[in-house]
Amino acid sequence: MPAIPSLRRYGSLLLLVAAPAVLPGLGSLVAPLAGAAGMALGLQLALGRPDPWIPSRAQAWLDRKGPGRRLLRLIRRFCGPVLGLPSPRMPLLLAGAAVAWTGLVLFLPLALIPLSNTVPSLALGLLGAGLALGRAILAWLGLALCGAFTGALALLGAAAWEGLQALVGRFL
């Protein structure tokens, strides 16, 4: 029987990865790193790995400092009413795929698009908070935000493609 992944540990790591990338100015600098870490954590979660693999020095720092606990206390304080709402469980494969996709979007160089780092980082943070706190409602909100941003990117890409075709057609 496969082991159940430690969702709290995955969620805490996702929160730590997403937190600096949410800030608009700082997000452009750390988004590729946050994206790579998000992709790695998402793939591990989707594959059902019991505990996320992270380098031993980072693991020792996390065990010693525990910065995720402060973030979780802050989220509990501000999201108290939402945390009490009932919600269906988030399938781990869906959560892992959403985290990996959001990490890929963060990893891409989309700095010219407004909020291209902030919104996926926020989605990653909501997914992480939902996993860490055991409240699927936050994870579903993060998944909805991820889907909305993906749809907006698809529309923007389609508009850019149509514009490029019209521009090339005009000159040819």
Give CA–CA dist 83/100, Å, rounded: 24
**What pLDDT, on a 0 to 100 scale, did the predictor assign at position 148?**
93
**What pLDDT, on a 0 to 100 scale, did the predictor assign at position 2?**
42
Whether 162 is in a domain gets the answer: yes
Residues 6+ apart with CB under 8 A from 52: 6, 9, 10, 13, 41, 44, 45
pLDDT per residue, tens digit, the chain (172 aa), is 344 456 777 787 888 888 777 777 766 677 788 888 888 888 888 888 877 887 777 666 666 666 656 666 666 676 666 556 555 666 778 888 888 888 888 888 776 677 778 888 888 888 888 888 777 788 888 889 989 989 988 998 899 999 999 998 888 7
Query: How many domains does the structure of the chain reveal?
Result: 1
Whether 2 is in a domain gets the answer: no
- Quote the pTM value: 0.71
Q: Show the domain range for 99.
A: 7-171
Whether 40 is in a domain gets the answer: yes
Task: Report CA-CA distances (Å) from 130 to 99, 122, 156.
Answer: 12, 12, 29
Nearest CA to 121 out of 35, 9, 12, 41 is that of: 35
Whether 1 is in a domain gets the answer: no
Whether 25 is in a domain gets the answer: yes
Whether 26 is in a domain gets the answer: yes
**What pLDDT, on a 0 to 100 scale, did the predictor assign at position 110?**
72
Whether 151 is in a domain gets the answer: yes
